[in-house]
Amino acid sequence: MMTDTDKLAERIRKRFDHNQAKRVLREKYSAKMHFAYNGGMWLAGPELLSMLNVCPDETAVLLDTNSNPIKIDVAELELAVQQRWQEQMNAWHAEYEALKRER
């Protein structure tokens, strides 16, 4: 039979494991947001999407994640960023929901 202290320790252990699992998920999907395009490495996310949305021309020169100037087709890169972002966020959400049910 478990004492109150044992029950509390078990709850704390599960809570810690849950928080650690959330950190692992965040790291896993943050890494998956990186992708190559036109000779540069890019990080799919709101910042890049915003930058692409305000580009007035069809082509632009932007700095990639390695601070290299890369000439890009704005519409093409925007589509690639949106797809990568949405795919990874959907997968992350699905894994997070499964993790919440395990708790």
Neighbours of 99 (CB within 10 A): 15
On whether residue 90 sits in a domain, the answer given is yes
96 is in which domain, residue-wise? 31-102
- Give the residue among 1, 20, 2, 22 at the shortest CA–CA distance from 10: 2
Using only the alpha carbons of the chain, give its radius of gyration. 20
80 in any annotated domain = yes
Query: How does pLDDT run across 42-101, given as a tens digit for each residue?
Result: 999 999 999 999 999 999 999 999 999 999 999 999 999 999 999 999 999 999 998 888
- Work out how many domains the chain is built from and give that number: 1
Q: How many residues does the chain have?
A: 103
**Residue 47, domain member (yes or no):** yes
| CA dihedral of residues 65, 67, 68, 70 (deg, nearest 10) | 60
Average pLDDT, integer, range 23-29: 93
The answer to whether residue 82 is domain-embedded is yes
Q: Is residue 17 part of a domain?
A: no
The answer to the question of residue 79 being in a domain is yes
Please check whether residue 92 lies inside any domain of the structure.
yes
16 belongs to a structural domain: no
Angular region, 88: left φ>0, alpha ψ -120 to 50, beta rest: alpha
